[in-house]
Amino acid sequence: MNLKNKIIISISTIVIFMLAIPFMATNIESAEIGLGIFSILIIVINPIISIIIGILIGDNYKEIWYIPIIEVLMFLLFFFILFQDVETTYLVFAIIYLTLSYTSIIVTNIIIKIKNKSD
């Protein structure tokens, strides 16, 4: 997959999971269902997305190192738009997502280097 496609897929995924789905969840009439969706997104889906994005851009990290930062900024932007404030809890989640993305980039690079040495 070329670099342009990786950027498009990464940014699209970030916009969908960090902005679009949370905004749709705010429009649900039942507060319990909306809270459940937020909880699943924050605790399960977003960390998985962070790892997938790190794996996706792992072999091109020198060119697109900024994608995980965009991911975290979109996550924080949603909460800033919704609440006009960003609580410390959301900053902690943002740091966790950033750490997961960059860790998966490093692990992907190590795996690629080991694979290239064995070939």
In the chain, the number of structural domains is: 1
Closest listed residue to residue 73, CA positions, set 55, 57, 91: 91
What are the residues whose beta carbons fall under 8 Å from the beta carbon of 32, sequence distance 6 or more?
none
| Domain membership of residue 110 as a residue range | 3-118
**DSSP letter assigned to residue 85:** S
SS3 22: helix
The predicted pLDDT at position 42 comes to 92
The predicted pLDDT at position 91 comes to 92
pTM, to two decimals: 0.89
**Which segments in the chain show pLDDT lower than 50?**
none
- Confirm if 94 and 72 have CB atoms less than 8 A apart: yes
Closest listed residue to residue 78, CA positions, set 114, 30, 33, 37: 37
